[in-house]
Structures are given as structure tokens and as C-alpha cells.
Amino acid sequence: MAKQNLSQHLASLGDLFMQTWEIIKKEWKNLLITSLFGVAIGFIGIILMWIATAIALASGSGAIASIVILLFTIIAIVAIIIVYSYITIVVTKITKAALENKPVEIKKLLMDTLNVEKIKPVATTGLLDGVMSTLWSLLLIIPGLRKGVQWTFATIISATTGKSNREALKESEKLVKDRRWMTFGYVLAGGLVISIICGILSGIFNDTIGSLIGNIISVAFIVFLVLMYFQRSKTAPAAKASKKEEKAE
């Protein structure tokens, strides 16, 4: 008899956590490789930032140093958004493949995703989300928080469908409409669990290793959000029976 497939719609937060765990158990190697690949790209950016800062400080001019540091800080923020967008796309595809019981060629997926046309809509959506949420928060904290919740699925939508930033934001608002508090609660619960695990690991290991492991574990939160999106949009991929399951039947 075939096992219950992973694409079944979720009924509770507990089910969502369990399904996230099932995906992680099934695809842990691919998720680990993805996380390490993203960390490597991000580390290169950090090194370039350090070099730029050192050059700026060595210039001897306080004004020039400040301008250079500000410029490269902005570049670093954009780079972080790009790396996060890249990881989001890859993790979304891994999660979808797991739901469909399809194998993942991780090397091919990682290289194919290094494409400006694929990363651009997700990155611009993430950037617009961040800027708009910040601006709303500067006006009033509650409206800013509300907008942030409404746009919870924006980057996932862009990663899944390739929709532009404005289209993704609007679709996310529709999915969250009338379920803002539930969405906020789910995201808060997922974030707290990840934060607690990362905090424990940071206490056990040194800061560098703890931070690295924390980055790897944080990929689980993207899986969590992707599953939430499939649940809310009711677009969970249909699972195909594996060969073992077909024989069992």
C-alpha cells in the first residue's frame, strides 16, 4: 500500500511542521548543498566588502571613506537579496520535486538557476517588499507589519511562477486576505522554532560554525513558506508514485 503522499493539503500548524520535516528528511542532501552554495557566494561578497572597506580606510580621507563604505554597504544589501532570491528559487524547486516524488539533479539545478532572467523577478520582488514594508513602518508600525504579512508569499510566488514584483505582491495580498492573523501566527511560529534551534547551536559551537549551521537550518524556513504557499493557493503538485510504491500496490 502506498504511503500518504506529501502533497496532501495541510490542516494545522502541526501538520505544516511535520510536512516540512518530511521534506527535509527526504531532500536534506540537496538542501545542504544549496545552503552551502549560497553561503559560498555570500562569503565572496563579504570578502569583497572587507577589501573595499580596507581600501577606503587606507585612502586617508574621512569623506571618501564614508562614501565608499556607504556605497559598498548598499551593494552588500543588494547582494544579500540576490543570494537569498537564488536560494529561494532552488529550494522552491526542490520542495516541489519532493512533493511530486521526482528526483533532483542538484548540480544542474544550481547552475541553471544562475540565470539573470530567473533571479531578477524574485530579487526585485524581495527588494520592493523590503523597501515598501520599511516605508510603511516609518509611517506607523502596525501598517508596516500588516503590509509585511500581506506580502509573505511574494518572493515564493515569483520563484514559482516567474511573475513580476507588482503581480507577486498583489497575488500574495489576495492569498493572505481575511487570514492575516493566521498567516502572521504561522510565520511567527516557524521563525521562532528556527531562531531557537539556531540559538542552541550557536551556544554549542563557536560563532563562525554556529552561524554557518544557522544559515543551513534557515533554509528549512523557506521550505516552510513554500508549503504554506501551496496550501493557501491550493496548487500543491500531485505526487507521482515511486517505483517502490507502485510495486507495493
Q: Hey, CA dihedral for 89, 94, 99, 103, is it positive or negative?
A: positive
Q: What is the pLDDT of residue 245?
A: 46
CA-to-CA separations, 100 to 20, 47, 52, 108, 208, in angstroms, rounded:
15, 39, 45, 18, 36
Question: What is the grid cell recorded at 100?
Answer: 511530486
Tens-digit pLDDT profile for residues 40-54: 766 776 776 677 677
Lowest mean pLDDT among 119-123, 193-197, 243-247: 243-247
Q: Assess contact for 144 and 130: CB atoms under 8 A.
A: no
Asked if the model's pLDDT at residue 108 lies above 50, the reply is: yes
Question: How buried is residue 38: exposed, middle or buried, by Cβ count under 10 Å (0-12/13-18/19+)?
Answer: buried
Q: Assess contact for 179 and 148: CB atoms under 8 A.
A: no
Helix (H, G, I), strand (E, B) or coil at 69: helix
> Please, what is the Cα angle at 29 between 105 and 109, to 5 degrees?
25
Q: How confident is the model at residue 7 (pLDDT cuts 50, 70, 90)?
A: very low
Among 92-101, 133-142, 197-206, 207-216, the range of highest mean pLDDT? 92-101
Residue burial 119-156, b: 16+ Cβ < 10 Å; e: rest: bbbbbbbbbbbeebbeebbeeeeeebebbbbbbbbbbb
Q: Which pTM does this prediction carry?
A: 0.78
Asked if the model's pLDDT at residue 94 lies above 90, the reply is: yes
**Arithmetic mean of pLDDT over the chain:** 78
CA distance 20 to 232: 15
Asked if the model's pLDDT at residue 92 lies above 70, the reply is: yes
CA-to-CA separations, 153 to 11, 53, 72, 83, 222, in angstroms, rounded:
18, 35, 29, 18, 10
Among 28, 86, 54, which residue's Cα sits nearest to residue 220? 28
Q: Assess contact for 122 and 73: CB atoms under 8 A.
A: no
Question: What is the grid cell recorded at 171?
Answer: 497575488
Asked if the model's pLDDT at residue 86 lies above 50, the reply is: yes
Q: How confident is the model at residue 202 (pLDDT cuts 50, 70, 90)?
A: low
> Please, what is the Cα angle at 10 between 199 and 106, to 5 degrees?
65
